[in-house]
Structure 1
Amino acid sequence: MSCTENESGPFVVFFLPAVVGCLTILLARRWANSQVSNTSSTAVSRRRKIIKDPLIKRPLPPLACKMVPHGSKKASGVNKKGSVPVPDEEINGGGKRLGRPARPQPAVPTSTSTPEVKLVDGPVQPKHIPFPYIPQDGNLLFEAMTFVFTLVATGLQFLNLYRTAWWLPHSYTNQAMNFYLIDPHLVAFIVTIIFRKLLLSITMAILKSVLVPKMMPHATIAARMFILGVVLGAMAWCAYFIILKYPMVKIFYLCYPAVIYFILFGFHASPFLELNNGDPPLHCCSHDPSQIRTEVETLRQDFNVRMKKIIFNSIVGAYYSSFIPCCFAQSYLYYDVYAASQQTAFVCAGLVSRHASQLLGAAYCDVPHRAALHLGRWGPDTAGEGEVCTWCPRRVYPRGSRVSAAARSFVAVSPAVAADPTSLVHSRFHTVFANPSLLLCGMLCLQLALIVLQLCLLFSSIQWHNFLAIVILLFINYYTLFKMVRDYLVAWKVYKAENMIQDKNGPLPVQN
Structure 2
Amino acid sequence: MSCTENESGPFVVFFLPALVGCLTILLARRWANSQVSNTSSTAVSRRRKIIKDPLVKRPLPPIACKMAPPGAKKATGVAKKGTVPLLEEDVNGGGKKMSRTPRISPTGPPSGSLGTDTKMSDGILQPKHIPFPYIPQDSELLFEIMNFVFTLVATGLQFLNLYRTAWWLPQSYNNQAMNFYLIDPHLVAFIVTILSRRLLLSITLAVLRQFIDAKLMPHATIAARTFILGVILGSLAWCIYFIAHKYVFLVTVYLFYPVVLYFILFGFESSPFLELVSGNPPLHSCSHEPQHARDEADTMTADFNMRLIRILFNSLIEAYYTSFIPCCFAQSFLYYDIYAASQQVGLVLCALCGRYSAQLFSAAHCDVSHRAALHLGRWQPAPAPAPAHGSESEAWCGARRWARGARVRVVGAGGAEFVADAPLVAANPDDNHHARFYDLFINPASFLCMLVSLQLGLVVIQFYLLFNSIAWHNFMAIIFLLFIDYYTLFKLFRDYAVCCKVYRAENIIHDKNGPVLATN
Shorter-chain TM-score bucket reads: 0.7 to 0.9
**d(CA) in 1 for partners of 2:366 and 2:518?**
36
2:435 maps to amino acid: S
Change beyond 3 A, Cα 1:219–1:511: closer
Cα offset, 1:35, TM superposition: 11
**d(CA) in 2 for partners of 1:240 and 1:252?**
13
1:249-300 per-position Cα deviation (integer Å, ceiling 9, x unaligned)? 1222101111111111111101111112322221011111111101111111
Contact residue 124 and residue 506 of structure 1 kept, 8 A? no
Q: Which residue of 1 aligns with 2:91?
A: none
1:401 maps to amino acid: A
Q: Which residue of 2 aligns with 1:402?
A: 407
2:506 maps to amino acid: E
1:215-234 per-position Cα deviation (integer Å, ceiling 9, x unaligned)? 21111110000000000000
Cα offset, 1:454, TM superposition: 0.2
Q: Which residue of 1 aligns with 2:74?
A: 81
Change beyond 3 A, Cα 1:76–1:209: closer
Cα offset, 1:308, TM superposition: 1.0
Alignment of 1:293-304 (within 5 A): 293-304=294-305
Q: Does 1:498 align with 2:500?
A: no
Q: Does 1:483 align with 2:516?
A: no
SS of structure 1 residue aligned to 2:269: coil
Change beyond 3 A, Cα 1:284–1:391: same
Cα offset, 1:123, TM superposition: 2.4
Q: Which residue of 2 aligns with 1:461?
A: 469
Cα offset, 1:508, TM superposition: 2.2
1:361 maps to amino acid: S
Q: Percent identity?
A: 60
Q: Which residue of 2 aligns with 1:93?
A: none
**d(CA) in 2 for partners of 1:509 and 1:304?**
33
Contact residue 370 and residue 441 of structure 2 kept, 8 A? yes
1:356-415 per-position Cα deviation (integer Å, ceiling 9, x unaligned)? 000001110001111011100000111524221111011110000000111211100100
Contact residue 125 and residue 517 of structure 2 kept, 8 A? no
Q: Which residue of 1 aligns with 2:363?
A: 362
SS of structure 2 residue aligned to 1:133: coil
**d(CA) in 1 for partners of 2:298 and 2:401?**
17
RMSD of Structure 2 on Structure 1 (CA) = 2.7
Cα offset, 1:2, TM superposition: 4.1
Change beyond 3 A, Cα 1:178–1:286: same
Contact residue 200 and residue 273 of structure 1 kept, 8 A? yes
**d(CA) in 2 for partners of 1:317 and 1:509?**
51
1:258 maps to amino acid: V
Q: Which residue of 1 aligns with 2:450?
A: 442
1:478 maps to amino acid: Y
Q: Which residue of 2 aligns with 1:57?
A: none
Q: Which residue of 1 aligns with 2:211?
A: 210
Contact residue 437 and residue 491 of structure 1 kept, 8 A? yes
Change beyond 3 A, Cα 1:509–1:160: closer
Cα offset, 1:82, TM superposition: 3.9
2:478 maps to amino acid: I
Cα offset, 1:486, TM superposition: 0.2
Cα offset, 1:507, TM superposition: 4.2
SS of structure 2 residue aligned to 1:150: helix
**d(CA) in 2 for partners of 1:350 and 1:191?**
19
**d(CA) in 1 for partners of 2:254 and 2:62?**
66
SS of structure 2 residue aligned to 1:508: helix
Contact residue 129 and residue 506 of structure 2 kept, 8 A? yes
Change beyond 3 A, Cα 1:160–1:35: same
Change beyond 3 A, Cα 1:36–1:462: closer
Q: Which residue of 1 aligns with 2:429?
A: 421
Q: Does 1:392 align with 2:401?
A: no
Q: Which residue of 1 aligns with 2:383?
A: 382
Q: Structure 1 length as normaliser, TM-score?
A: 0.79
**d(CA) in 2 for partners of 1:80 and 1:280?**
44
Q: Which residue of 2 aligns with 1:287?
A: 288
Alignment of 1:228-307 (within 5 A): 228-307=229-308
Change beyond 3 A, Cα 1:224–1:429: same
Cα offset, 1:122, TM superposition: 2.6
**d(CA) in 1 for partners of 2:148 and 2:462?**
21
Contact residue 128 and residue 370 of structure 1 kept, 8 A? yes
Change beyond 3 A, Cα 1:469–1:295: same
Q: Which residue of 1 aligns with 2:372?
A: 371
SS of structure 2 residue aligned to 1:173: coil
**d(CA) in 2 for partners of 1:424 and 1:481?**
32
Alignment of 1:154-169 (within 5 A): 154-169=155-170
SS of structure 1 residue aligned to 2:504: helix
**d(CA) in 1 for partners of 2:429 and 2:174?**
71
Cα offset, 1:511, TM superposition: 9.6
Q: Does 1:127 align with 2:128?
A: yes
2:407 maps to amino acid: R
**Could you say which structure has the larger radius of gyration?**
1
Change beyond 3 A, Cα 1:264–1:510: closer
**d(CA) in 1 for partners of 2:229 and 2:519?**
67
* Consecutive unaligned residues in structure 2, runs of 5 or more: 1-47, 78-105, 109-118
Contact residue 124 and residue 507 of structure 1 kept, 8 A? no
Contact residue 124 and residue 517 of structure 2 kept, 8 A? no
Contact residue 402 and residue 409 of structure 1 kept, 8 A? yes
Q: Which residue of 2 aligns with 1:61?
A: none
Change beyond 3 A, Cα 1:288–1:326: same
2:74 maps to amino acid: K
Alignment of 1:131-210 (within 5 A): 131-210=132-211
Contact residue 250 and residue 327 of structure 1 kept, 8 A? yes
Cα offset, 1:125, TM superposition: 2.0
SS of structure 2 residue aligned to 1:244: helix
Contact residue 314 and residue 351 of structure 1 kept, 8 A? yes
Cα offset, 1:505, TM superposition: 1.1
Alignment of 1:19-34 (within 5 A): 27=57
**d(CA) in 2 for partners of 1:37 and 1:165?**
78
Contact residue 372 and residue 433 of structure 1 kept, 8 A? yes
1:214 maps to amino acid: K
Contact residue 271 and residue 278 of structure 2 kept, 8 A? yes
Q: Structure 2 length as normaliser, TM-score?
A: 0.77
Change beyond 3 A, Cα 1:399–1:172: same
Q: Which residue of 1 aligns with 2:310?
A: 309
Change beyond 3 A, Cα 1:256–1:4: same
Of 381-390 and 338-347, deviating more is 381-390
Contact residue 445 and residue 500 of structure 2 kept, 8 A? yes
1:436 maps to amino acid: P
**d(CA) in 2 for partners of 1:509 and 1:360?**
32
SS of structure 1 residue aligned to 2:514: coil
Contact residue 118 and residue 511 of structure 1 kept, 8 A? no
SS of structure 2 residue aligned to 1:411: strand
Change beyond 3 A, Cα 1:308–1:510: closer
Cα offset, 1:203, TM superposition: 0.8
**d(CA) in 2 for partners of 1:471 and 1:281?**
38
2:229 maps to amino acid: L
